[in-house]
Amino acid sequence: MRSPAVASILVGVFAAIVLIHPISSADDKTKTVFAASMLAEHNEWREKYKVPQLTWDEDLAADAQQFANQVVIKNKFPPTHRSGSSNGENFFWGTASAFEPKDAVARWESENKNYDRTTNTCVAGKRCVHFTQLVWSTTKRVGCAKATTADGETDFFVCVYNPAGNKDGLGPFSIVPDVTKQPSTTTPQSSPTVSPATPTRPVARRVS
Protein backbone atom coordinates (compact mmCIF):
# COMPACT_ATOMS: atom_id res chain seq x y z
CA MET A 1 0.00 0.00 0.00
CA ARG A 2 1.39 3.39 -1.03
CA SER A 3 1.85 6.09 1.56
CA PRO A 4 -0.21 9.32 1.20
CA ALA A 5 2.97 11.20 0.24
CA VAL A 6 3.78 8.81 -2.62
CA ALA A 7 0.18 8.90 -3.83
CA SER A 8 0.26 12.68 -3.79
CA ILE A 9 3.45 12.73 -5.89
CA LEU A 10 1.96 10.33 -8.43
CA VAL A 11 -1.17 12.44 -8.75
CA GLY A 12 0.98 15.53 -9.23
CA VAL A 13 3.05 13.87 -11.96
CA PHE A 14 -0.08 12.68 -13.74
CA ALA A 15 -1.60 16.16 -13.57
CA ALA A 16 1.59 17.66 -15.00
CA ILE A 17 1.50 15.23 -17.91
CA VAL A 18 -2.14 16.05 -18.60
CA LEU A 19 -1.39 19.78 -18.57
CA ILE A 20 1.76 19.61 -20.69
CA HIS A 21 0.45 17.28 -23.40
CA PRO A 22 -2.09 19.68 -24.96
CA ILE A 23 0.54 22.46 -25.13
CA SER A 24 3.00 20.15 -26.87
CA SER A 25 0.32 18.97 -29.29
CA ALA A 26 -0.66 22.57 -30.07
CA ASP A 27 2.97 23.48 -30.76
CA ASP A 28 3.37 20.50 -33.04
CA LYS A 29 0.18 21.42 -34.88
CA THR A 30 1.34 25.00 -35.35
CA LYS A 31 4.66 23.80 -36.79
CA THR A 32 2.87 21.36 -39.09
CA VAL A 33 0.53 24.06 -40.40
CA PHE A 34 3.45 26.45 -40.90
CA ALA A 35 5.47 23.82 -42.78
CA ALA A 36 2.53 22.85 -44.99
CA SER A 37 1.80 26.50 -45.78
CA MET A 38 5.41 27.37 -46.59
CA LEU A 39 5.83 24.33 -48.83
CA ALA A 40 2.54 24.95 -50.62
CA GLU A 41 3.41 28.59 -51.30
CA HIS A 42 6.80 27.63 -52.71
CA ASN A 43 5.37 24.93 -54.94
CA GLU A 44 2.54 27.11 -56.18
CA TRP A 45 5.04 29.61 -57.56
CA ARG A 46 7.35 26.88 -58.85
CA GLU A 47 4.46 25.35 -60.74
CA LYS A 48 3.78 28.73 -62.33
CA TYR A 49 7.38 28.91 -63.52
CA LYS A 50 7.36 25.24 -64.61
CA VAL A 51 10.16 24.01 -62.37
CA PRO A 52 10.11 20.84 -60.21
CA GLN A 53 8.29 20.83 -56.89
CA LEU A 54 10.17 20.96 -53.59
CA THR A 55 9.88 18.58 -50.66
CA TRP A 56 9.97 19.61 -47.01
CA ASP A 57 13.15 18.72 -45.13
CA GLU A 58 13.02 18.59 -41.33
CA ASP A 59 16.79 18.92 -40.96
CA LEU A 60 16.76 22.12 -43.02
CA ALA A 61 13.78 23.36 -40.98
CA ALA A 62 15.66 22.67 -37.73
CA ASP A 63 18.68 24.53 -39.08
CA ALA A 64 16.43 27.43 -40.10
CA GLN A 65 14.85 27.53 -36.65
CA GLN A 66 18.20 27.58 -34.89
CA PHE A 67 19.35 30.46 -37.06
CA ALA A 68 16.07 32.36 -36.71
CA ASN A 69 16.32 32.09 -32.92
CA GLN A 70 19.83 33.56 -33.01
CA VAL A 71 18.71 36.44 -35.22
CA VAL A 72 15.82 37.52 -33.01
CA ILE A 73 18.00 37.39 -29.91
CA LYS A 74 20.35 39.92 -31.52
CA ASN A 75 17.35 41.91 -32.84
CA LYS A 76 19.45 43.63 -35.49
CA PHE A 77 18.02 43.94 -39.00
CA PRO A 78 19.00 43.30 -41.69
CA PRO A 79 20.72 40.17 -40.37
CA THR A 80 23.89 38.76 -41.91
CA HIS A 81 23.78 35.60 -43.96
CA ARG A 82 25.86 32.70 -42.73
CA SER A 83 29.13 32.16 -44.58
CA GLY A 84 30.52 28.78 -45.59
CA SER A 85 27.12 27.09 -45.94
CA SER A 86 26.34 24.84 -48.90
CA ASN A 87 22.66 25.79 -48.58
CA GLY A 88 20.77 28.77 -49.92
CA GLU A 89 18.80 31.17 -47.69
CA ASN A 90 15.96 33.64 -48.12
CA PHE A 91 15.00 36.13 -45.38
CA PHE A 92 11.89 38.15 -44.66
CA TRP A 93 10.92 40.19 -41.60
CA GLY A 94 8.13 42.53 -40.59
CA THR A 95 5.72 43.57 -37.88
CA ALA A 96 4.87 40.66 -35.58
CA SER A 97 1.62 38.81 -36.40
CA ALA A 98 1.09 40.94 -39.52
CA PHE A 99 2.50 38.47 -42.05
CA GLU A 100 1.89 34.85 -43.03
CA PRO A 101 4.09 32.44 -45.01
CA LYS A 102 2.34 33.47 -48.22
CA ASP A 103 3.43 37.08 -47.66
CA ALA A 104 7.08 36.14 -47.25
CA VAL A 105 7.14 33.92 -50.34
CA ALA A 106 5.16 36.45 -52.40
CA ARG A 107 7.69 39.13 -51.42
CA TRP A 108 10.51 36.98 -52.81
CA GLU A 109 8.55 36.18 -55.96
CA SER A 110 7.85 39.88 -56.54
CA GLU A 111 11.51 40.29 -57.50
CA ASN A 112 10.76 38.46 -60.77
CA LYS A 113 10.27 41.85 -62.44
CA ASN A 114 13.89 42.64 -61.62
CA TYR A 115 15.28 39.53 -63.34
CA ASP A 116 16.32 39.69 -67.00
CA ARG A 117 16.27 36.19 -68.48
CA THR A 118 18.07 37.23 -71.65
CA THR A 119 21.18 38.30 -69.74
CA ASN A 120 20.71 36.25 -66.56
CA THR A 121 21.21 39.37 -64.46
CA CYS A 122 19.23 41.58 -62.13
CA VAL A 123 18.05 44.94 -63.45
CA ALA A 124 20.62 47.58 -62.55
CA GLY A 125 20.19 48.74 -58.97
CA LYS A 126 17.53 46.11 -58.22
CA ARG A 127 17.54 42.85 -56.30
CA CYS A 128 16.38 39.54 -57.77
CA VAL A 129 18.32 36.76 -56.03
CA HIS A 130 15.45 35.86 -53.68
CA PHE A 131 13.29 35.20 -56.73
CA THR A 132 15.95 33.15 -58.50
CA GLN A 133 16.48 31.01 -55.39
CA LEU A 134 12.73 30.51 -55.04
CA VAL A 135 12.44 29.11 -58.58
CA TRP A 136 15.91 27.57 -58.97
CA SER A 137 15.17 24.42 -60.96
CA THR A 138 17.76 22.12 -59.37
CA THR A 139 16.85 22.95 -55.76
CA LYS A 140 15.00 19.93 -54.34
CA ARG A 141 14.41 20.51 -50.63
CA VAL A 142 13.37 23.37 -48.37
CA GLY A 143 12.94 23.93 -44.65
CA CYS A 144 11.69 27.15 -43.08
CA ALA A 145 11.18 28.69 -39.66
CA LYS A 146 9.87 31.79 -37.93
CA ALA A 147 10.89 33.48 -34.70
CA THR A 148 9.75 36.63 -32.90
CA THR A 149 11.93 39.20 -31.14
CA ALA A 150 11.72 39.40 -27.36
CA ASP A 151 9.99 42.78 -27.53
CA GLY A 152 7.21 41.18 -29.57
CA GLU A 153 7.58 43.67 -32.41
CA THR A 154 9.19 41.72 -35.23
CA ASP A 155 8.67 38.32 -36.88
CA PHE A 156 11.63 36.90 -38.76
CA PHE A 157 11.15 34.25 -41.46
CA VAL A 158 13.96 32.23 -43.00
CA CYS A 159 13.94 29.43 -45.56
CA VAL A 160 16.93 27.18 -46.20
CA TYR A 161 17.33 25.46 -49.58
CA ASN A 162 19.29 22.45 -50.79
CA PRO A 163 20.93 22.23 -53.22
CA ALA A 164 21.48 25.97 -53.14
CA GLY A 165 20.53 28.16 -56.09
CA ASN A 166 22.27 31.20 -57.56
CA LYS A 167 25.24 29.20 -58.80
CA ASP A 168 27.81 31.12 -60.83
CA GLY A 169 27.47 30.59 -64.55
CA LEU A 170 23.93 29.17 -64.35
CA GLY A 171 20.41 30.52 -64.55
CA PRO A 172 17.42 29.45 -62.42
CA PHE A 173 15.54 27.68 -65.20
CA SER A 174 18.19 25.37 -66.62
CA ILE A 175 21.16 23.35 -65.47
CA VAL A 176 23.38 24.46 -68.36
CA PRO A 177 23.24 28.10 -69.51
CA ASP A 178 22.02 28.72 -73.05
CA VAL A 179 24.86 30.89 -74.35
CA THR A 180 22.87 31.82 -77.44
CA LYS A 181 20.23 33.49 -75.28
CA GLN A 182 22.29 34.46 -72.25
CA PRO A 183 25.32 36.55 -73.28
CA SER A 184 26.19 37.06 -69.62
CA THR A 185 26.63 33.87 -67.59
CA THR A 186 27.31 35.45 -64.24
CA THR A 187 25.11 35.01 -61.20
CA PRO A 188 22.60 37.90 -60.98
CA GLN A 189 24.40 41.00 -59.70
CA SER A 190 27.43 38.75 -59.05
CA SER A 191 25.89 38.45 -55.61
CA PRO A 192 26.48 35.88 -52.89
CA THR A 193 24.11 32.93 -52.85
CA VAL A 194 21.49 34.99 -51.08
CA SER A 195 20.77 38.49 -49.91
CA PRO A 196 18.39 39.77 -47.21
CA ALA A 197 15.00 41.06 -48.28
CA THR A 198 14.01 44.64 -47.70
CA PRO A 199 11.90 44.87 -44.52
CA THR A 200 8.19 45.10 -45.19
CA ARG A 201 6.17 46.61 -42.35
CA PRO A 202 2.62 47.92 -42.17
CA VAL A 203 3.07 51.56 -41.23
CA ALA A 204 0.10 51.49 -38.88
CA ARG A 205 1.68 48.70 -36.83
CA ARG A 206 5.20 50.07 -36.71
CA VAL A 207 6.40 51.76 -33.54
CA SER A 208 9.88 53.16 -33.18
Cβ neighbors of 139 (< 8 A, separation 6 or more) are 54, 88, 133, 161, 162, 163, 164, 165
- Burial label for 41, CB within 10 Å (0-12, 13-18, 19+), is buried
What mean pLDDT, rounded, does the chain reach?
80
Using pLDDT thresholds of 50, 70 and 90, give the confidence band for residue 23.
very low
What pLDDT shows up at residue 169? 87
**Contact in structure between 96 and 157 (CB atoms under 8 Å):** no
Q: Is the omega angle on the peptide bond into residue 22 within 30 degrees of 0, that is, cis?
A: no
What pLDDT shows up at residue 201? 35
What pLDDT shows up at residue 7? 40
pLDDT score of 10 more than 70: no
Please state the φ and ψ torsions of residue 2, each to the nearest 5 degrees. Answer: -75, 145
**Exposure b/e, 160-189, CB count within 10 A at least 16 = b:** bbbebbbbeebbbbeeebeeeebeebebbb
79-107 pLDDT tens trace: 999 988 899 999 999 999 999 999 999 99
